[in-house]
Homo-oligomer: A and B are copies of this chain.
Amino acid sequence: MAGAILASKLGVDVLLVGDEESILRELDGFELPVVHAPDVIGMGDDPASGLREKPRSSIVTCARLVRSGDAAGFVSAGSTGAAMAAAAILVGRVAGVLRPTIATVFPTLGTPTVVLDSGANPDVKPEHLVQFGEMGAALSETYFQVAKARVGLLNIGEEKGKGRQLEREAYALLEQAPINFVGNLEGRDIALDKADVLVTDGFTGNVFLKATEGVAALLTQLLMEAISGASPESLAEILPLLEPVGERLDYETTGGAHLLGVKGVVVIAHGSSTRRAVSNALQMAHEGAERGLVERIAACITLG
């Protein structure tokens, strides 16, 4: 709730959806419009049956508000599956989009890289990867002032012909697509700013992103243990210098992942989102709507 208040103060037109009584209690006098939605689709519920059985859940209500045009998009920190299902079924896909996709914004030394699919589509066909490239480019160009986003294919070698049948066929299609395709990229290239968009299937993308989380956590722990033996004077000097690094790598800075290919700006925030993360997610959704993210996607999609 604190995140919504913060975003509202920063100029985002926020509509709160959920149990009205709880929301009003948490708002504690701060005025924001509320739409009452008493039901909850939990993390353990099956998303599709949750949509059917809980029409008064917050996620179904959010999707209906987008469908009716009363909202430009929604941010959810609840079940990712339910948010995806609600967006795909109730908000609806952009014309031509075969599969809505989850895109994660990954911090690098340069412009952030959009990695997609991050887990919505574990099994894909080559044409899906092409559309992921097109939608990822639209996201990169919308948020990061990139003129013509460089799109790379995540692979296990740089040469054409590398990878599985999926990558070989997708490579040929990506070369033909009206995007700035820069070829195969390897996982280690993520830091080197070789592309603005990294395309892969949802299984590989999810493993890739979680691997980077795991290593970042491992390194941070090893580092902190290593320097814990230093003198208080050195620590007092070093620790504040390290803070901006953590800041830069923190998912809270981007606030969430985008669900692309539906007729609204949908941001999926972490369940454990802090005030800042929620506020950032709301700001991203706001910016996406202002800058016409959905229209850009509608304009660039091919192979539908």
Contact = CB atoms under 8 A, between A and B. Distances in A.
Number of copies of this protein chain within its complex: 2
Interface in A97-114: 108-109
A32 interface: no
Nearest to A213: B188
B241 A217 contact: no
A255 to B, nearest CB: 19
A147 interface: no
A156 interface: yes
B217 A188 contact: yes
A214 interface: yes
Contacts of A217: 188, 191
Contact of A190 (B188, B215, B234): B215
A191 B221 contact: yes
A204 B154 CA distance: 10
B242 A226 contact: yes
Interface in A176-217: 186-192, 200, 202-204, 206-217
Interface stretch (A6-14, A15-23, A243-251, A266-274): A243-251
Contacts of A219: 215-216, 219, 245, 249
B109 A221 contact: yes
A165 interface: yes
Contacts of A31: none
A207 B237 contact: no
A232 to B, nearest CB: 11
A123 interface: yes
A95 interface: no
B210 A188 contact: yes
A163 interface: yes
Interface in A104-147: 108-109, 119, 122-123
Given A204-B203, A222-B109, A213 B187 contact: yes
A164 interface: yes
Closest 6 CB pairs of A and B: A187-B210, A191-B218, A187-B211, A188-B214, A234-B234, A156-B206
Interface of A: 108-109, 119, 122-123, 154, 156, 163-165, 186-192, 200, 202-204, 206-219, 221-223, 226-227, 229-231, 233-234, 237-238, 241-242, 244-245, 248-249
